[in-house]
């Protein structure tokens, strides 16, 4: 996903549940996380992101259940990694930070599996709450 011409409009559509479901991609999740991390530290951003993703899912008909929708461990994992990514170049624009993120291994969909076994990451426990990595600790 390219950086939107007007990121404020994009975030507003996400927050109001009007962002088309087809635009709610992995890359859109990353942009939303970076946007909130540009305004809050990771601890403050987590409850906001959790509430917003859960509400967005409900608005577009995605069920938040034991098998779909919001995933706590993935959200916390990415917020942790993206906060570190953002800190690496604090004076960088959000657009440049996002471009640098997309060029990194953290942006790959399979990146979480470098820290978690598939069974652990996609368990109900991981979806519902934070669980520690079982393959490689977070740096």
Query: What is the pLDDT at residue 90?
Result: 74
Domain boundaries, the chain: 7-128
Q: Is the dihedral of CA 113, 117, 118, 121 positive or negative?
A: negative
Rounded Cα gap, residues 81 and 44, in angstroms: 15
Please state, as a whole number, how many other Cβ atoms lie within 10 Å of the Cβ of residue 115: 19
Q: What is the pLDDT of residues 57-86, one digit of tens each?
A: 999 999 999 999 999 999 999 999 999 999
87-126: pLDDT as tens digits = 998 789 999 999 999 999 999 999 999 999 999 999 999 9
- 19-53 pLDDT per residue, tens: 999 999 999 999 999 999 999 999 999 999 999 99
Joined together, the tokens standing for residue 122 give 């996609």
| Inter-CA distances, 40 with 33, 35, 64, 131, Å | 10, 9, 25, 23
Task: Work out the end-to-end distance of the chain between its first and last CA atoms, rounded to an integer number of angstroms.
Answer: 27
Residue 139 has pLDDT above 90, yes or no: no
């Amino acid at each position: 996903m390219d950086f939107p011409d007007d990121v404020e409009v994009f975030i507003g559509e996400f927050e109001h549940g009007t962002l088309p479901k087809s635009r709610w991609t992995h890359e859109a999740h990353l942009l939303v996380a970076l946007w909130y991390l540009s305004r809050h530290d990771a601890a403050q951003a987590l409850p906001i992101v959790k509430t917003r993703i859960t509400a967005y899912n409900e608005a577009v008909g995605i069920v938040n259940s034991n098998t779909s929708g919001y995933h706590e461990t993935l959200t916390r994992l990415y917020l942790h990694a993206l906060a570190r990514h953002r800190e690496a170049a604090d004076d960088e624009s959000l657009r440049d930070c996002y471009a640098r993120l997309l060029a990194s291994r953290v942006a790959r969909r399979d990146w979480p599996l470098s820290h978690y076994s598939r069974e652990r990451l996609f368990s109900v426990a991981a979806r519902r709450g934070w669980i520690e990595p079982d393959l490689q600790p977070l740096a």
